[in-house]
Amino acid sequence: MKPIIFLLSLISTYSVFAQNETFAYNYFSDQGVEINITEETCSDIKYGIEKQILIIELKNNNNYPVKISFHKDSWYDNKCTSCNSNSKEFLVEEVLLPNSTIKGNCSPEKKFLTIFKKMLNLEKVKQLSKYEFKNINIEKVNQ
């Protein structure tokens, strides 16, 4: 019985620490739409890459579809690398179905919903110092 109690307490302690490693917060909320940010560590063992990224989550709390768009500005070592850029790489445009959520992840397919933060296994590499979403626009989509 004692080993089971010890194991359960060890697992619950580990879960508390694991949850503290990641942060989450609401970046924007208006017209029934939310933009939430979380931090995630991505590892690619095959290529020896370990990095931190910010995950962008778009949430539509409305009972109708909306189109959301904005420009991602990112500063690395206090220098903006995307400001005033017209590249689609920094533009997010997405139609969200009613009461739906989409979010980025470590896979390349959802890269538009992420912001690179830093490499964890390399030194002397630029790190994210600041980010902003500019020109956030929300439009109701006619069905």
Q: Residue by residue, what is the 3-state secondary structure of the chain? A: CHHHHHHHHHHHHHHHHHHHCCCEEEEEEECCEEEEEEEEEEEECCCCEEEEEEEEEEEECCCCCEEEEEEEEEEECCEECCCCCCCHHHEEEEEECCCEEEECCCCHHHHHHEEEEEECCCCCCCCEEEEEEEEEEEEECCC
Query: Structural domain of residue 89, as residue ranges?
Result: 25-140
Q: Is position 117 within any domain?
A: yes
Q: Is position 67 within any domain?
A: yes
Q: Is position 78 within any domain?
A: yes
Q: Is position 75 within any domain?
A: yes
pLDDT of residue 22: 66
Q: Is position 20 within any domain?
A: no
Least confident of 79-83, 106-110, 134-138: 106-110
CATH number of the domain where residue 52 is located: 2.60.40
Question: Given a cut of 80, is residue 20 above it in pLDDT?
Answer: no
Please write the tens of the pLDDT for every residue from 31-87. 999 999 999 999 988 888 899 999 999 999 999 999 999 999 999 999 999 998 999
Higher pLDDT, 5 or 59: 59
Please choose, from the candidates 53, 35, 44, the residue with its C-alpha nearest in 3D space to the C-alpha of residue 128: 53
Question: Given a cut of 90, is residue 16 above it in pLDDT?
Answer: no
Number of domains present in the structure of the chain: 1
